[in-house]
Amino acid sequence: MATNLHATGPALDSHTGPEFTAEGGDWASIAAEAERLGEERIVVNMGPVHPSTHGVLRLILDIEGETVNELRVGTGYLHTGIEKNMEYRTWTQGVTFCTRMDYVAPFFQEVPYCLAVEKLLGITDEVPERATLIRVLLMELNRIASHLVAICTAGNELGATTMMTIGFRAREEILRIFEHITGLRMNHAYIRPGGVAQDIPADTTEMVRRLLPNVRRDIGELQDLTMANPIYKARHEDVGYISLSAALALGLTGPCLRAAGYPLDLRKVSPYCGYETYDFDVITETASDAMARVKVRWAECYESMKIVYQVLDRLDATPGPVMVADKKVAWPAQLSIGSDGQGNSLDHIREIMGTSMESLIHHFKLVTEGFRVPAGQVYQTIEHAKGVMGVHLVSDGGTRPYRAHFRDPSFSNLQSMSIMSEGGQLADVVVTLASLDPVLGGVDR
C-alpha cells in the first residue's frame, strides 16, 4: 500500500528537526534514514487517498514512534459544490442534489430538506399521513443500512473481511426494498416537497416483512463474531475515548454522543414525522470508546426494526394520497416503475398529450420552472443515522433556493477525531476514525 509522508505545512510550526518526504513505497529508506539520525518524530499524511479514510479525507499525524502526538483533520478534497448548485435548480430538483451528500444514508438528506421546504410553504400539516409513514419506513431502514456499513467496513479495515461480506449481504436486502419502492438503490430523489414521488407498490409491506428477518439473522451473526471476540474487543475497548464534556464541547452527535451516556435523540427530544407516536428506546452506553459506539449502533438496528414493523401495520391500515392536494405544489407526474425501473404512467401521458392542453401546460411549467416559495428562512433538524442533521433554507420568493446549507453530522463529528487519537497508538487511528463513521460526501458539500 502506498504511503505518502510529507513533513511540511502548518502542523509543523514547532518542528525544527529534519524533514522527510516519501512518495509511493519508499518508506523503508525513510525509516532507515530516521534511524540513522536517531529521529523518532515524524509527520505522516494518512490520505487523502487511503483505504481507511472513508473517501477523500486527509489526516495529518505527528507521531513519535508508534504514539500519536498530534492529529489534524484536512477536508475539502471531495468538494462537490452541492449547496451552491442547488441555488441554480428548482426546489424540487434540489432533492436530486442533496440525496447525493451522504450516499450511504440518502433518505436522511431528502427528508429534512423537504420538511424545510414544506415549512416555508406553510403546508406541513397538509402532507398526507401515508406519505409521512413512507418517509419513516425509508429512514429507519436506511438507519439500519448505514449502521451496517459503519461497523462492517471497519471490520474489513482490520482484516475481518467476513464482517463486510455478511454486513453487505444484510444491507443488500434493504437496498432491494429501496429499489422496489423508488426504482433506485441509492440517490433516490424519491421524497418530494409535499409528499413522495409515488405510492409504494402494493406488495411492499409483505416484501419488507419477508426480508427483514434475514437482516436480523445477519446482524445476530455479526454480533456473535464481534461482541465476545477477544481480538475485536482488544482493538476497540479503551480506544478512541472522549469524555462527555469534551464530546458536548466539540459538537459530537448521534451514536457517538449516546455512547458517552447522553441520550440526545431528536426523534424523542424534538419529534418530527410523527415519531412521538412510535414505541422505541434511546440507546446509550457509558464507556465512550470505540466498542461502546459499536454496541449503540447494533442496539439501534433492533430499535429501528421495532419502528419499521409499527410503520408496516399503519401503512396497511392507511390508504390515501401520498402528495399534497394543492396542484400548484404537487409534483404533476404520475410515475410508474416499468421494466427499466423508471418512467411516467402511460395513462397520464395519454391524458396530457392527447386530452387536456391545460394539464400539459401545467405539467411543463411546474417541472421546468417549479413552484414559488414565499420569502423567508427556516431551519429543520432530524436525527440522521450519524447524528443531528440540520437544514437551513433561505427563499427570496422565487422558484429556486436563495441559499441552502446543511449541518452534516459527519462534518461536526470529525472535530472530535484529534482528542480521541492523541496519545494513542498509530494503529488505533483507523479504529477511531471508523467508529465516528464519517462519509465524506456529507463533509465536503
Task: Tell me: cis bond preceding 48? Omega within 30 of 0 counts.
Answer: yes
Based on the domain organization, do 136 and 284 belong to the same domain? yes
Ordered DSSP codes for 33-57: HHHHHT--EEEEEE-SB-TTSSSB-
- Inform me whether the pLDDT recorded for 23 exceeds 70: no
Among residues 74, 104, 132, the one where a domain terminates is 74
Mean pLDDT confidence for 38-44: 71
Residue 353 lies in a domain: no
- 227-to-220, 242, 284, 287 alpha-carbon distances in Å: 10, 21, 16, 15
Q: What is the CATH number of the domain that holds 130?
A: 1.10.645.10
Residue 306 lies in a domain: yes
Q: Please check whether residue 419 is in contact with residue 250, taking contact to mean a CB–CB distance below 8 angstroms.
A: yes
What pLDDT is attached to residue 16? 55
Residue 280 lies in a domain: yes
Based on the domain organization, do 209 and 266 belong to the same domain? yes
Nearest-angstrom CA–CA distance, 179 and 355 = 32
What pLDDT is attached to residue 33? 67
Nearest-angstrom CA–CA distance, 396 and 224 = 54
- Inform me whether the pLDDT recorded for 78 exceeds 60: yes
Torsion of the alpha carbons at 274, 443, 416 and 142, rounded to the nearest 10? 40
Nearest-angstrom CA–CA distance, 194 and 78 = 31
Percent of the chain scored above 90 by pLDDT? 55
For the chain, how many structural domains are there in total?
A: 2
Bridge partners, residue 403, by sequence: 394
**Mean pLDDT, rounded, of the chain:** 86
- Inform me whether the pLDDT recorded for 13 exceeds 50: no
Pairing of strands 195-196, 376-384: unpaired
Tens-digit pLDDT profile for residues 199-239:
898 899 999 999 999 999 999 999 998 888 899 999 999 99
What pLDDT is attached to residue 350? 72
> Which residues span the domain enclosing 389?
82-329+371-443
Which residue would you say has higher pLDDT here, 361 or 269?
269
Supply the DSSP symbol for 275: G
Mean pLDDT confidence for 191-206: 90
**Angle formed at CA 384 by CA 418 and CA 55, multiple of 5 degrees:** 50
Based on the domain organization, do 323 and 257 belong to the same domain? yes
Q: Is 4 helix (H, G, I), strand (E, B) or coil?
A: strand
